[in-house]
Amino acid sequence: MTVRAAVAGASGYAGGELLRLLLAHPGVEIGALTGNSNAGQRLGALQPHLLPLADRVLEPTTAEALAGHDVVFLALPHGQSAAVAEQLGPDVLVVDMGADFRLKDAADWERFYGSPHAGTWPYGLPELPGGRAALEGSKRIAVPGCYPTAVSLALFPAYAAGLAEAEAVIVAASGTSGAGKTPKPHLLGSEVMGSMSPYGVGGGHRHTPEMIQNLSAVAGGRISVSFTPTLAPMPRGILATCSAKAGPGATAESVRAAYEKAFADEPFVHLLPEGQWPATASVHGSNAVQLQVAYDEAAGRIIAISAIDNLTKGTAGGAVQSMNIALGLDETTGLTTIGVAP
Amino acid sequence: MTVRAAVAGASGYAGGELLRLLLAHPGVEIGALTGNSNAGQRLGALQPHLLPLADRVLEPTTAEALAGHDVVFLALPHGQSAAVAEQLGPDVLVVDMGADFRLKDAADWERFYGSPHAGTWPYGLPELPGGRAALEGSKRIAVPGCYPTAVSLALFPAYAAGLAEAEAVIVAASGTSGAGKTPKPHLLGSEVMGSMSPYGVGGGHRHTPEMIQNLSAVAGGRISVSFTPTLAPMPRGILATCSAKAGPGATAESVRAAYEKAFADEPFVHLLPEGQWPATASVHGSNAVQLQVAYDEAAGRIIAISAIDNLTKGTAGGAVQSMNIALGLDETTGLTTIGVAP
Amino acid sequence: MTVRAAVAGASGYAGGELLRLLLAHPGVEIGALTGNSNAGQRLGALQPHLLPLADRVLEPTTAEALAGHDVVFLALPHGQSAAVAEQLGPDVLVVDMGADFRLKDAADWERFYGSPHAGTWPYGLPELPGGRAALEGSKRIAVPGCYPTAVSLALFPAYAAGLAEAEAVIVAASGTSGAGKTPKPHLLGSEVMGSMSPYGVGGGHRHTPEMIQNLSAVAGGRISVSFTPTLAPMPRGILATCSAKAGPGATAESVRAAYEKAFADEPFVHLLPEGQWPATASVHGSNAVQLQVAYDEAAGRIIAISAIDNLTKGTAGGAVQSMNIALGLDETTGLTTIGVAP
Amino acid sequence: MTVRAAVAGASGYAGGELLRLLLAHPGVEIGALTGNSNAGQRLGALQPHLLPLADRVLEPTTAEALAGHDVVFLALPHGQSAAVAEQLGPDVLVVDMGADFRLKDAADWERFYGSPHAGTWPYGLPELPGGRAALEGSKRIAVPGCYPTAVSLALFPAYAAGLAEAEAVIVAASGTSGAGKTPKPHLLGSEVMGSMSPYGVGGGHRHTPEMIQNLSAVAGGRISVSFTPTLAPMPRGILATCSAKAGPGATAESVRAAYEKAFADEPFVHLLPEGQWPATASVHGSNAVQLQVAYDEAAGRIIAISAIDNLTKGTAGGAVQSMNIALGLDETTGLTTIGVAP
């Protein structure tokens, strides 16, 4: 079986990473590639690393261009997916790499995104409890945010096992590609090289309600999240340092056991041997999640740290993994756990 | 007045940064420079950025070499300072840039450093309550660790004002120079560029008891600290993201007021205007601390973030600042709040 | 057909990259992995990005460990390959990723490497004139150096077409992985980040005679080479800026035509559209060579610039490509022209 | 004596570096700061590393704002300086950090800059033969381009001594700040980190005629220049690898002697001991030029390599050095040869 896939938003970082993965996917034929401001340009000028597609020319993002595909990936600015998705018909698998359909709570959406809520689609994080079932056979997928992917996977086992209290504290460092390809002064190489800086501090980052949604669902009660994202001098990668106060029953052994159980059969999530900690370089370009957990007895906290590639597992790889499940393919098709390092 | 200063350990990063600052200090004449494995080498080969000292040759670190100076800076591996300091006499100002004399609790020292406790010297963080008084006229100074400098300054105002609960959670990113100049595989450029990774997770980092000591002294009761350091792909800089649960009385206004009060007269600590967050690039090579604080009402936490240069304010600049106080000089002599950016 | 391959020197950067590629090669089964100082360690601790091999343990590099394989890759320090290769028998395909068998001139070898010349094996750069024929069916392959790969491909078309004079001037920037994984002070992240520096200036770099050998063979006469390598603050990649005085007959058109002809049918070498210049990021992790050529009429020179990944096309990818040819497989098996960017 | 200095273009990288240096200059009082698109903003938001000026607000660049100063620095886009300078009067020292007044040949200017030639001012590279005399007492200074500074200093001694032939080949790597602060896609951190790329290849870079002008003046005959600039993944620094065919009389000794003689009394140019090569990190933030020269006997070429900070000696430091000479101050006032490393 080969499906024909279109990519709306092929000139950005998420679109480029998706194309890199689809080129290696044995069950996908790449169809239309669209863009807006870049329509009419050769992909070779926009994504020079994608040599096999160098001579493809971007079309404008229209219903006509996207018609006639089995799968349509949307890598569009927030708020633009609903209008496009409506025109695609119920039998097309639509995979939204934006935020539009991630949140269940309309008030959360409106508070953080400032526009009317478009709805909620099945959530593309198969490793969460019940995650795969929600995706099987689905024709709509909301790909998670990059930070919520790293954070939810790092913390949910502690909440699933009832070992952590309800207030999570998260500090995550992200590579600059997470901020996109639109040129802005603070994203210049001159500004980011040699510098670490926080942003969206104090609860303002849009990924916060998504983390709360995921962790609360697992915990069976509201989890509060203090989330501080930081921009790191690297193009890719997220290192999420997540902690919560240990609850009754938490010991080094019970915590370890909870994480071993959660990820025992996961193809992409790798709990490192005790004493080894993850590094983002190890997952560069891969769909793997490398993580480790510790119990700090003196401070009474569980600390779980995950490393992902924000563009792969955090965006495009997660999208392909969920597409595979929705289409009934082997979940790992076209994806790798091998990073490009050093 | 000109004092004559010797530097023991002039070939490492702390020693090099100290020499950079002393060369610009109008009241200091640079005397003996010593090293161990590098004794006999030209400084130009070891510290090629220090052109005015290029033809100086390192001597072995001996009591003879260090004799006859007004000030002796020790930039030695942990555990070696006491033996050297004993030989220097009570009238020489000895500034220890290592850890040996920072901790008051001998049991803490032995648990984290694994050797007998050498004692406790006046602590070189003038911005802490009572900090300056402890240094005035002193002949012995223990320069704080780089992380404790960044963290203590970020959090003490909240504790001094009684606005934060007793459990602090800290995640800090450090440039690689904090790990020193001894070649190790994980510190290779190939390994660190493009990568973020944690270390010493779960309470194991030696700077943890120093943070607890500082914050507890201010709070008037034991503060627990969960501290996770991470290695960032940059040569210098620390970004410390510090938070604590807000206590009764904490509001956005009361928190801001506590920080404004704490740093109103500080020459090196700069509380940024509301809405602006610190970046390590802005303090590159400077003795400034740039910081910001927020109150996250939804999560009920105070988040304070500081940026310092780990080698300047975090080590050698802090040493010079404290030396100035001990000698009765203007505290800012030879130091700058201007960073080298971009 | 599946061949069984051993890798001697699996803990270094060349060995790690080779394993990354072999894991994706449908015709190769990975056999013994050996190391010397790292024998007995888990590969997961040494190469944490190679998750599928995390539990493999390195054996010592002995004839016994390497016996029973169809292909043996040697990623050993210079001068060690001959002794190992002798023990492997004539029917085993031995692919040497070191320098030992690259040079034809024993005097050159001895002058640059300071040890007796071990011999000359078929040279693994298929894109050179006659390159493929030399490899077909061969049981011994000398993988080119990373710089000679980038430089020879950039300049040989000009010499093959008789458009360039006999003195080439080359300045190349390399990522730090080219310097290997053995910790040395000048390779620390603290030293290389934010810094460019040259080394081996003035004709001293060992890759110089290899470039001369390649270009002279194509030109049919001795080409002199002035080669200056520089260390760049990035983990991977080579950008080789190569120029030569234009000879009679050189025009913008004739130069372009010579390069188009040389690479028209090459699967891995991509001459960019006029006006677009290569960037090392575009070939990160790929076996592609992206290059461009210009004729500077005012200076009377041809300038050809190539970008490769030093570990992929420059080492391990080149090795796999040549192995494919030697084994009669499709030359591109297991290799990609798609880079991991940004 | 204290002079009052205005800076037109204070929000860019050149302006920011100039302010950093002027803040440390004992003979300068900082007057008006102007910008165009950023007029009305606090400098603290635009240049957060310049803490002592954080509360200064940018004015629009008008004759009124710039009036009443002893010195006016122009850090404006090319082509805008003449109109501003005309309004300042002949007694004001005007230091143009743009290109407008560097070239003597109007045809060269028009070919490379595409606008009418504004004239030629005394050239601010004191180390060139006759360089200081041209600046003493001058009221107009054209600050050299960053690349021409690095290249001219690296090569002029060989031409002054008649040891090099007339065709120079130059490949230089620059940090990204040389490309300015205006956001463009190819300057994003995501694009430049981990990547080396050339630009302006084949004689197109605007600094080429300036190099030809400088070297030809020293040689007493036209020197042709093949110049290839490359963008390196670092915020600051230029490493210029410059070579020319050795002429009659060139030997290792005669070449070394020529360079020793050229720089024997120079306060900022440091010829390294034989065998030591420059690194850009060593001159980070300093006005020093570190350089080395070699004679490659086999290739018959002289290779001279210089490292400068493009923003300091390459722009703002060179401007201050020339201002000092013009004002009759000690040439080194307010400048340092000490880099901020690592």
DSSP C312: I
Percent of chain D, pLDDT > 70?
Answer: 100
Whose structure tokens read 């001990």? B326
Test A190 with D191 for CB contact under 8 angstroms. Answer: no
The pLDDT > 70 percentage for chain C reads 100
Question: Would you state the pLDDT for residue B1?
Answer: 76
Closest CA relative to residue B17, chosen from B338, B289, B286: B286
Residues of chain D in contact with residue B236, where contact means CB-CB under 8 angstroms, are: 342
A28-35 vs A3-8, strand pairing mode: parallel
The first and second tokens of residue B33, run together, are 């420079």
Interface contact flag, A187 D185, Cβ < 8 Å: no
Residue C36: pLDDT band with limits 50, 70, 90:
confident
**Residue A1 in this model has a pLDDT that exceeds 90:** no
Q: What is the DSSP string of D174-204?
A: E-GGGG-SS--GGGBHHHHTT--EE-STTTT
Which tens digits make up the pLDDT trace of B70-127?
999 999 998 899 999 999 999 999 999 999 999 999 999 999 999 999 999 999 999 9
- Which subunits sit against C, judged by 3+ Cβ pairs under 8 A? A, B, D
Q: What b/e readout covers C91-125, taking b as 16+ CB neighbours within 10 angstroms?
A: ebbbbbbbbbbbbeeeebbeebbeeebbebbbbbb
pLDDT for D36: 87
Inspect the interface and report whether the beta carbons of D188 and A191 lie closer than 8 Å.
Answer: no
Selecting among C22, C30, C146, C160, the annotated active-site residue is C146
**Which tens digits make up the pLDDT trace of B2-46?**
999 999 999 999 999 999 999 999 999 999 999 989 999 999 999
- What are the residue ranges of helices labelled H in D293-342? 317-327
Domains along chain A? 3-144+314-327 (3.40.50.720), 147-308 (3.30.360.10)
Q: Which residues pair with D42 in a beta bridge?
A: D57
Q: Would you state the pLDDT for residue C67?
A: 96
Note if the bond before B278 is cis, omega within 30 degrees.
no
pLDDT at D1: 76
D31 CA: distance to closest CA in chain A (Å): 26
| DSSP 8-state class, residue B52 | G
The per-residue pLDDT for B264 is: 97
Query: What would the mean pLDDT of B175-191 be, rounded to a whole number?
Result: 97
CB-CB neighbors (< 8 A) of C189 in chain B? 176, 187-189, 191-193, 233, 235
Are B176 and C189 in contact (CB < 8 Å)?
A: yes
For D289-334, write each residue's pLDDT tens digit: 999 999 999 999 999 999 999 999 999 999 999 999 999 999 999 9
DSSP string, B7-24: EESTTSHHHHHHHHHHHT
B301 beta partners? B245, B296
- Interface partners of chain B (CB pairs < 8 Å, 3 or more) are A, C, D
Residues A28-62 pLDDT 10s? 999 999 998 999 999 999 999 999 999 999 999 99
Phi, psi for B172 (deg, rounded to 5): -130, 145
Residues 6+ apart with CB under 8 A from C275: none
pTM reported for the whole predicted model: 0.98
CA distance D211 to D198: 18
Task: Pick left, alpha or beta for residue B9 (phi over 0 → left; psi -120 to 50 → alpha; otherwise beta).
Answer: left
Residue A242 a catalytic site member: no
Mean pLDDT of A213-217: 98
Q: Which has the closest alpha carbon to B333: B12, B21, B63?
A: B21
SS3 B338: strand
Which two tokens mark A223?
Answer: 């989890």
pLDDT for B36: 87
What's the pLDDT at A36? 87
How many B×D Cβ pairs under 8 Å?
A: 102
* Chain B residue nearest residue C189, CA to CA: B189
Here the tokens at position C177 are: 């992985």
Nearest chain A residue to C181, by CA: A342
Continuous H helices in C115-245: 131-135, 146-160, 189-192, 208-219
Mean pLDDT (chain B) is 97
> Is residue D70 within 8 Å of residue D5, measured between CB atoms?
yes
What is the four-CA torsion angle of C305, C311, C312, C314, rounded to 10 degrees? 50
Residue type, D193: M
Quick: pLDDT tens for A258-293: 999 999 999 999 999 999 999 999 999 999 999 999
C166: alpha, beta or left, given left = phi > 0 and alpha = psi -120 to 50?
alpha
State which residues of chain D have pLDDT below 70.
Answer: none
Q: Which of D11, D146, D177, D190 would you mutate first to test chain A, the one with the most A CBs within 10 A? A: D190
Counted across chains A and B, CB pairs separated by less than 8 A come out at 169
Q: A176 — contact with chain D (CB < 8 Å)?
A: yes
Percent of chain A with pLDDT over 90: 97
Query: Does the CB of C266 have a partner CB in chain B at under 8 Å?
Result: no
pLDDT, residue B126, reads 98
B338 has pLDDT over 90: yes
Cα separation, D198 vs D58, in Å, equals: 35
- Give C267-321 pLDDT, tens digit per residue: 999 999 999 999 999 999 999 999 999 999 999 999 999 999 999 999 999 999 9
Report the alpha-carbon distance of residue D9 to residue D58 in Å, rounded.
9
Is the CB of residue C191 less than 8 Å away from at least one CB of chain D? yes
- What is chain A's mean pLDDT, rounded? 97
Which chain C residues contact residue A193 at CB under 8 A? 194
Residue C337 and residue C99: Cα distance in Å, rounded?
A: 25
